[in-house]
């Protein structure tokens, strides 16, 4: 059954002005693009380029089929695309007749519609993927469609690094707009705090720069404010001197959980004494092996073997250990997470404590037990990823002169971040895994609130569509994002015509 967009919007509880695109209006938008100066960059279903673009999203469930995809090569192309897509509505200015479009860089966000649209037009930035190192300024100019592993490989040739994704294929564009947690975070703060200039195409098609001197309000708002203001076509980011590190994956039996937890709480509180050390913990149950393993990427951002920061973890007997001296590129090439599954992520933040971690594991295990008899697919995984979120991430060396909109500066305690991450192969299990994952997060949140260990910050880059990460930035930041969005996009194009992602109009 095809619903008309106004009815569909009403069913989805959206305001009518956020109505979905109709196939008819999407066809008109694609035709207009095909006739424009970027016509040769528009691809349609059936072509190889279209197929390649659709299948290059990390999660299968976000591989929607847009009416057409446009693949710009430059900021000028993006500008002309935006001008075409905002002009097509013509005299008829009701929302469902306006072009609806999506913006994607690396395509790693895991909920359908964040970075893609169907029907509608997807602006795929993946051909804008080069990096230039400006040695004298110590700056890397990175285009949004780059993948971090390519950025690292290029910069390594110049003896430098940048704070970016810890899994090689992750995209640059979305990552830097939502914050960006890297191996270097405790040394230099979140990746977004290291961006010194953004080049942005506004809804009007105008190309502007935002930095500490020009468009300072936009500069600050882009540090966490995501897709609310325009399309970023270039990021200039401060480089770090040395790409050489020590690290790797250390894998443990599930039975070592009770040793990992106290070691982790201590590690998090010690990061301010040794900000070179980075630890991530992944407790993963895999249905094909019927076992839970604990994988811990231990990474040290200088080439020093077995640093004391991880001492408590070395005492726990491991199953395998790939630690070695290696570059950032090499380590992020190793640390990958299987693509090609249906995925859901939900995330929350808590104060650093053993109670939260024990509860996190108890909930993980109860959801595994619940899924085993109910899942119909062959290959699925239920995982919890825990990451230190020490206050040094937003204090001390993180200061960039203008701050950001994440609202972390309201807090003065070390935190930890929990990400429930479920992956499965069969769409028949969609409802099951979404329910279990949402319940897991809700149960941990409720427990944390009951012991006063809950923190309202929700990391946007891991958040699900059922969550409201912008609200977690605090009222003042939400108001600031709203004002900046209204100033740079007075017609609300990025609120109504670009429905994907976390929108301040819905926060
Ligand atoms: C396997 C995996 C590993 C990850 N590792 C890390 C990690 O180490 N650290 C970390 O902090 N996060 C990590 N993440 C989360 C990651 O930061 C987000 O998925 C992020 O969105 C990835 O950026 P992207 O370019 O792929 O985003 P996309 O999925 O392409 O886009 C995300 C959102 O940003 C918008 N957007 C994208 N580009 C632009 C642009 N140029 N201008 C305006 N809006 C834009 C999109 O419209 C969309 O709403 C990981 C995720 C996965 C799946
Ligand atoms: C909005 O425009 C579309 C396409 O032109 C049209 O079909 C629809 O009836 C209009 N809706 C309203 C509420 O005017
Ligand atoms: C940029 O993307 C193109 C097309 O996918 C690819 O061939 C090229 O290797 C990429 N460049 C870099 C630096 O990753
Ligand atoms: C993992 O260990 C926990 C105890 O921490 C146990 O309850 C659970 O059953 C184990 N899971 C598996 C799959 O062995
Ligand atoms: C893993 O175990 C091996 C064998 O006991 C040990 O030599 C190695 O140091 C351990 N690795 C880590 C990182 O603790
Ligand atoms: C990383 O380095 C190891 C040697 O330590 C090598 O075997 C491996 O191929 C390298 N990986 C990449 C992606 O370069
Ligand atoms: C489960 O493990 C198998 C074997 O290692 C692997 O191929 C598969 O990708 C894993 N499944 C998930 C959902 O991660």
Q: Where do we find the tokens 């194009």?
A: 493
Does pLDDT of 4 surpass 80? no
Secondary structure (DSSP) of 202-268: -TTS-EEEEESSSSHHHHHHTTT-GGGS-EEEEEEEE-BS--EEEEEEEEEEGGGHHHHHHHHHHHH
Q: Read off the pLDDT of residues 424-453 as tens digits, 9 standing for 90 and up.
A: 999 999 999 999 999 999 999 999 999 999
pLDDT mean over 383-397: 94
Pocket of ligand 6 (CB under 6 A): 324, 326, 330, 333
Nearest-atom index, ligand 5, CA of 250? 13
- Count of beta carbons in the 10 Å neighbourhood of residue 37: 12
Tell me which residue has its CA closest to atom 28 in ligand 1.
107
Q: Nearest bound ligand to CA 361?
A: 4
Q: Read off the pLDDT of residues 192-241 as tens digits, 9 standing for 90 and up.
A: 999 999 999 999 999 999 999 999 999 999 999 999 999 999 999 999 99
Counting Cα atoms < 13 Å in the Cβ hemisphere of 26 gives: 23
**C-alpha of 83 from chain center:** 27
Tell me which residue has its CA closest to atom 6 in ligand 4.
365
Tell me which residue has its CA closest to atom 8 in ligand 6.
330
DSSP 8-state secondary structure symbol assigned to residue 492? -
- C-alpha 294 to ligand 7 mean position (Å): 14
Contact between residue 369 and residue 408 where contact means Cβ atoms under 8 Å apart: no
Nearest Cα to 448, choosing from 412, 494, 415? 415
- Give the tokens for residue 391: 């206050």
Query: Using 50, 70 and 90 to split pLDDT, how confident is the model at 8?
Result: very low
- C-alpha 94 to ligand 2 mean position (Å): 6
Q: Is the peptide bond before 225 cis (omega within 30 degrees of 0)?
A: no
Query: Using 50, 70 and 90 to split pLDDT, how confident is the model at 396?
Result: confident
Tell me which residue has its CA closest to atom 9 in ligand 7.
338
- CA atoms of 464 and 344, how far apart (whole Å): 7
> Which strand (E) or helix (H) includes residue 181?
none
Res 11: pLDDT: 44
Does pLDDT of 90 surpass 70? no
Does pLDDT of 481 surpass 70? yes
Pocket of ligand 2 (CB under 6 A): 25, 92, 94, 96-97
Tell me which residue has its CA closest to atom 10 in ligand 7.
286
How much of the chain, in percent, has pLDDT values that exceed 90? 92
Q: 105-119, 389-403, 430-444, 471-485: which has the minimum mean pLDDT?
A: 389-403
Q: Where do we find the tokens 């993946």?
A: 126
Report whether residue 107 contacts ligand 1, using a CB cutoff of 6 Å: yes
- The best mutation among 333, 335, 336 to test binding of ligand 6, ranked by most ligand atoms within 8 Å of the C-beta, falls on 333
Contact between residue 89 and residue 101 where contact means Cβ atoms under 8 Å apart: no
| Cα torsion angle, 403, 409, 412, 417, sign | negative
Res 19: pLDDT: 46
Q: Nearest bound ligand to CA 328?
A: 6
DSSP 8-state secondary structure symbol assigned to residue 304? -
Pocket of ligand 7 (CB under 6 A): 286, 288-289, 338, 341, 379-381, 423
Query: Using 50, 70 and 90 to split pLDDT, how confident is the model at 504?
Result: very high
pTM given for the model: 0.94
* Beta strands at 244-253 and 324-327: parallel, antiparallel or unpaired: antiparallel
Secondary structure (DSSP) of 305-372: SS-GGGHHHHTS--SEE--EEEEHHHHHHH-----SSEEEEEEEEEES-HHHHHHHHHHHHHHHHHHH
Q: What is the 3-state secondary structure (H, E, C) of 413-461?
A: CCEEEEEEEEEECCHHHHHHHHHHHHHHHHHHHHHHHHCCCEECCCCHH
Nearest Cα to 95, choosing from 189, 12, 14, 2? 14
Q: Nearest bound ligand to CA 335?
A: 1
Please, what are the domains in the chain?
5-125+471-500 (3.30.43.10), 131-238 (3.30.465.10), 244-467 (3.40.462.20)
Q: Read off the pLDDT of residues 128-157 as tens digits, 9 standing for 90 and up.
A: 999 999 999 999 999 999 999 999 999 999
């Amino acid at each position: 059954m095809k619903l008309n967009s106004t009815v569909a919007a009403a069913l989805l509880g959206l305001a009518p002005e956020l109505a979905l695109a109709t196939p008819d209006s999407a066809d008109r938008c694609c035709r207009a693009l095909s006739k424009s100066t970027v016509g040769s960059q528009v691809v349609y279903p059936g072509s190889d380029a279209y197929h390649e673009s659709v299948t290059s999203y990390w999660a299968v469930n976000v591989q929607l089929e847009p009416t057409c995809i446009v693949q710009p090569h430059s900021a000028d192309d993006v500008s002309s695309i935006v001008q075409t897509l905002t002009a097509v509505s013509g005299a008829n200015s009701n929302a469902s007749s306006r072009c609806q479009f999506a913006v994607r860089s690396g395509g790693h966000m895991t909920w359908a519609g964040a970075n893609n649209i169907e029907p509608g037009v997807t602006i795929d930035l993946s051909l804008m993927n080069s990096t230039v190192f400006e040695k004298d300024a110590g700056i890397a100019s990175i285009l949004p469609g780059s993948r971090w592993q390519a950025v690292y490989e290029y910069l390594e040739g110049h003896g430098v690094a940048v704070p970016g994704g810890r899994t090689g294929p992750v995209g640059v564009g979305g990552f830097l707009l939502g914050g960006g947690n890297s191996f270097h975070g405790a040394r230099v703060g979140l990746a977004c705090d290291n961006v010194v200039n953004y080049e942005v195409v506004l809804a009007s098609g105008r190309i502007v720069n935002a930095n500490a001197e020009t468009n300072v309000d936009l500069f600050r708002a882009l540090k966490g404010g995501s897709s609310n203001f325009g399309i970023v076509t270039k990021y200039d980011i401060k480089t770090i001197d040395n790409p050489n590190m020590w690290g790797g994956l250390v894998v443990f039996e599930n039975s070592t959980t009770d040793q990992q937890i106290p070691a982790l709480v201590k590690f998090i509180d010690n990061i301010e004494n040794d900000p070179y050390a980075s630890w991530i913990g992944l407790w993963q149950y895999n249905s094909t092996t019927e076992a839970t393993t604990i994988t811990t990427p231990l990474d040290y951002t200088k080439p020093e073997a077995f640093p004391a920061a991880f001492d408590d973890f070395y005492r726990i007997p491991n199953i395998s250990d790939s630690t070695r001296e290696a570059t950032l590129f090499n380590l992020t090439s190793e640390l990958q997470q299987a693509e090609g599954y249906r995925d859901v992520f939900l995330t929350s933040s808590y104060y650093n404590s053993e109670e939260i971690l024990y509860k996190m594991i108890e909930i993980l295990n109860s959801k595994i037990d619940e899924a085993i008899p109910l899942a119909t697919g062959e290959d699925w995984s239920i995982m919890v990823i825990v990451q230190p979120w020490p206050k040094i991430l937003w204090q001390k060396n993180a200061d960039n002169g203008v701050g950001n909109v994440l609202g972390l500066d309201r807090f003065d305690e070390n935190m930890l971040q929990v990400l429930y991450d479920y992956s499965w192969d069969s769409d028949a299990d969609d409802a099951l895994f979404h329910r279990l994952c949402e319940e897991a997060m809700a149960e941990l949140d409720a427990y944390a609130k009951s012991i006063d260990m809950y923190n309202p910050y929700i990391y946007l880059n891991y958040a699900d569509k059922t969550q409201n990460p912008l609200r977690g930035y605090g009222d003042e930041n939400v108001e600031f994002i709203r004002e900046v969005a209204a100033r740079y996009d007075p017609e609300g194009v990025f609120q109504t015509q670009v429905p994907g992602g976390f929108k301040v109009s819905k926060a």
